[in-house]
Amino acid sequence: MVDAADTSVIIDTLYSFTPSDDQDAAFIHAGLNSLLGWYQVELRGRSQHGDGVLKVKIPDYRGILLANPSTVSAKRKAEALKAFAELAGCGSGPSLEELGTAERLAFDTAYLRACGFSDPANAVLLLEQELRALAGERVERKLSVADAKISRRKATNVAASVEAYASRIVGAMPAYPDPRAFRNAGEATSKISIIAPVEGPLLIGAELFDLGEVSAGGTLVAKTGSLEAASLVRAILLLEPTAKEIELPVGQRLQRLTTEWQSAVQRWDGEFKRAAERFLTGVSDRRTRDAVVNIALETLRAK
Mean pLDDT, consecutive 10-residue stretches, the chain (303 aa), reads: 67 74 90 88 62 63 84 93 82 60 88 92 86 67 45 47 85 91 90 92 84 90 90 92 91 92 94 91 83 91 87
**Which CA distances in Å does 220 have to 197, 226, 231?**
9, 15, 14
- Which residue pairs from 236-239 have beta carbons closer than 8 angstroms and sit at least 24 positions apart in sequence? 236/178, 236/179, 236/180, 237/194, 237/198, 237/202, 238/176, 238/202, 238/301, 238/302, 238/303, 239/176, 239/178, 239/301
Contact by Cβ (8 Å): 199, 217: yes
How far apart CA 32 and CA 84 sit, in angstroms, is: 11
- Taking the C-alpha atoms of residue 110 and residue 191, their distance in angstroms, rounded to an integer, is 50
In 3D space, the residue among 88, 87, 65, 69 whose CA is nearest the CA of residue 78 turns out to be 69
| CA dist., res. 158 & res. 164, Å (int) | 9
The burial of 111, by beta-carbon neighbours within 10 Å (0-12 exposed, 13-18 middle, 19 or more buried), is given as buried
Closest CA to 111 of 68, 76, 154, 74: 76
For the whole model, what pTM was predicted? 0.48
Distance (Å, whole) CA 239 – CA 92:
50
Sheet containing 202-204: order of strands: 202-204, 213-216, 219-223
The SS3 of residue 219 is strand
Strand partners, 192: 246
- At 207, the amino acid letter reads E
Task: Give the start-to-end residue ranges of the domains of the chain.
Answer: 22-156, 179-299
> What pLDDT was estimated at residue 268?
95
Q: What is the pLDDT of residues 207-256, one digit of tens each?
A: 878 888 999 988 999 999 888 999 999 999 998 999 999 999 988 999 99
